[in-house]
Amino acid sequence: MTISPDPSAIDEADGSVTTADGPVVMVDVYAPTMRLAEAFIAAGRPVVRVQSTPEVPPVYRASFRADIFLDNIVHEGDLKQTAKAVSAHVPAAVLTGGELGVELADQLSELLGLATNGTAHSAARRDKFRQMETVKQAGIPGSRQILAESAGQLADFHRELGGRVVVKPIRSAGNDGVHFCETPEDSAAAYRAIAQAVNIFSFRNEGVVAQEFLHGTEYVVNTVSCRGGHRATDVWKYTKISVNGVSNRISGALSVAPGEPARAALVAYAFDVLDALEVRHGPAHLEIMLTPDGPRLVEAGIRLCGADTAYYARLATGESQVERTVDAYLNPTDFLHRLGAPHRTEHHVAMAFLTSPVSGTLKSYPLLGLVEELESFHNAQTFVRPGEQLPLTVDDTTEPMMIGLAHPDRAVLERDFATVCYLDGHGFYELEPAGAAS
């Protein structure tokens, strides 16, 4: 395993970060990463938004806003034309605002001679099959996998591998289109479902990857990089349940404090993955399974973590990807000098992602008051309100509510998190009677 470079040894010649006074350009800023755009603006830098698709993807339309941006440039497919429009603003930096914009941000930053991760491994930062192959080619342990070209080929792979197999689109985000398959027949059915579907961004899936199922505990390592130096800003441990016909639904994330046994190995492995993918600048979100054989990559997103995690990271440790990313691009010298600063724990934090076992018109959350009385209760983010349609929770996009917990005592946090998990169920959701007027 490698460690993040000493700041004095970092090569400043590679697409060096500029401190020019120009605006910051962000590709595909939507609600999940609006905090980062707002942070650049608060630091005195206007933000120019580039939209990589002619239309806003349906998943973001309800929350889309462009009023805070200096300009909104829509990429119509002509890279030189878009680069010309961006260049007219004399930008200080170009970076992605989300998963969809990773490759265009790489192209623009490289073409304009700004701080860049380059395009040599750009596809591997989005394509899950290429990503894993790139990691393994760098000598980093990774999963056995296949880029399936047919349902039959995938079924044969499953028979040869044995056990459970994970089947998913080669692109997309979150847990969109992910299937945990017990039999070769399940894998074949998953292939057909994915190959015929459009993903969360409303693009038809380009391919299907199947990987061995990793046994262990899944963690998240969120990082920010500058000139090849990496800082792990926050680490989380996932909890999972199998419910509503979905296996391994992520039900929560608990902060992993500095000094906890698993953290050092996870962070070192994450830095190795970043180096393999040639990530030298900006934020990244890595999902890593800690298996009996050591850390193994689930997948990496070379962009800010979603789910408002940065807010809860700051609550836990006093820092997050948001302000560290601003520093990496606007104050790189300061960022590098603080690269190895000790991590601290201000609170132990948990995010509980509630899972509705029912669907219909929501009348109320009758047990929410009990949650709000918990000693570590911090806040509740409500995504489905009374009077609105409550879907059965099967993925991140159908989540009804997120509960935030924070407390200086780890035992109190874990007790209250377990209590939230106990309360979340059929009694937590009151529906309007069938046929009642909405």
Which among 220, 416, 420 is positioned nearest to 310, based on CA atoms? 220
Neighbours of 422 (CB within 10 A): 11
Q: How many residues in the chain?
A: 438
What was the pLDDT predicted at 436?
A: 62
Contacts of 277 (CB under 8 A, 6+ apart): 117, 121, 124, 125, 131, 134, 135, 300, 302
386 and 397 Cβ atoms separated by less than 8 Å: no
Q: How many CA atoms lie within 13 A of 99 on its CB side?
A: 22
State the angle between helix axes of 321-330 and 309-317 in degrees (0 to 180), rounded to the nearest 10: 90
**What is the DSSP secondary structure assignment for residue 252, as one 8-state letter?**
E
> Position 162: which residue type?
G
Q: Which residues of 83-120 are buried (b: 16+ CB within 10 A; e: fewer)?
A: bebbeebebbbbbbbbbbbbbbbbbbbbbbebbbbbee
Which among 304, 323, 427, 311 is positioned nearest to 379, based on CA atoms? 311
Cα–Cα distance measured from residue 106 to residue 215, given in angstroms and rounded to the nearest whole number:
34
Concatenated DSSP letters of 155-176: HHHHHHH-S-EEEEESS-STTT
User: What are the pLDDT digits (tens) for 2-35?
Assistant: 334 343 434 443 544 455 789 999 999 998 889 9
User: What are the pLDDT digits (tens) for 371-419?
Assistant: 999 999 999 999 999 999 999 998 888 899 999 999 999 999 999 999 9
β-pair partners for 286: 221, 300
What was the pLDDT predicted at 173?
A: 67
Indicate the CATH number for domain 144-212: 3.30.1490.20
Concatenated DSSP letters of 373-426: TSTTEEEEEESS-TTSEEPPP-SGGG--EEEEEEES-HHHHHHHHHHHHHH-SG
Between 3.30.465.10, 1.25.40.10, 3.40.50.20, 3.40.50.300, what CATH number should domain 24-116 receive? 3.40.50.20
Cα–Cα distance measured from residue 275 to residue 400, given in angstroms and rounded to the nearest whole number:
37
What was the pLDDT predicted at 207?
A: 87
Tokens of 431: 């529906």
What was the pLDDT predicted at 176?
A: 74
Contacts of 175 (CB under 8 A, 6+ apart): 250, 395, 396
What was the pLDDT predicted at 246?
A: 86
What was the pLDDT predicted at 58?
A: 86
Using 50 as the pLDDT threshold, list the residues of the chain that sit under it.
Answer: 1-13, 15-17, 438
β-pair partners for 158: none
Q: Does domain 217-431 have CATH number 3.60.21.10?
A: no
User: How far from each other are the two terminal CA atoms of the chain, in whole angstroms?
Assistant: 57
In the chain, where the domains are located: 24-116, 144-212, 217-431
User: CA 46, 52, 56, 61 torsion: positive or negative?
Assistant: negative
Return the SS3 of 360. strand
